[in-house]
Structure 1
Amino acid sequence: MPGAEWLALLCKHIPDRYGQLVRYCGWYSSRSRGARAAKASSAAAMLSSGVAEVAGELASRAKAAWARLIRKVYEVDPLECPKCRGPMRAIALIEDPIVVRAILEHLGRWQPRALERAPPAPVRAWPEHANLPLTYHPVPDIA
């Protein structure tokens, strides 16, 4: 087979530029995927009301669990008012350190951490009190 004929046969397998190379049919087609997505979203909408009820129940269990665990470990009820011994309930969760500090400072309970040690001394290039004789001894190269 001559070279030009072989190249012509080979070039038939090179796709056109910007041509569609993959075609999906059946289960993988866009139409089938869209129908499955619509069916799944409608089923999820039907279940969302039941899921919300279950989520509310799980949330109430979790709220009770953290208080029970703190009571068990520290032998103190976190949901009991320290002043009047009445029941308390959690109304917010504050995670921002700036807000926590502002609240504690307002209540007069902010205790900043004390420094454990002094900061390191600045590093000097050469000690001021050192008076060493510096000499230069040339070393011949060994070739």
Structure 2
Amino acid sequence: MLSPSFVVIWEFEGKPKISYVTVFERPGLQEFLNQLSEFAELVLFTAGLEGYARPLVDRIDAENRFSHRLYRPSTICTEFREHVKDLSCLSKNLCRTVIVDNNPFSFLLQPLNGIPCIPFSAGQPHDTQVPRFPLS
């Protein structure tokens, strides 16, 4: 689904930056988030800078289904990679926690909690990474 283009004004290194952005959602994303939010706590965890990512997420999550939003400062630096998502900041018991990401380095610290997905672009209107069946 294509959302309208819009302007994002954010600050980087103390200077305002202007970006013209079009948001492309994976087919089925909204339905998937609606179904998951009925029985699971949804947390957004991005390595993006908050000033840039927040307006994009606001467009995708107009229903406020995410209970928390974590941005780049919540990631950690490891000897292998910068901006790694450490799920232990959410809970010490991760037996019911998963991270879905197209970057396998995102779940470097908790590989058993990672669900990899392929990257998505606007040229993939028939993408099937998001399940299209009732989850309940």
What band does the TM-score fall into relative to the shorter chain?
under 0.3
Greater Rg over alpha carbons, structure: 1
TM, length-normalised to structure 1: 0.22
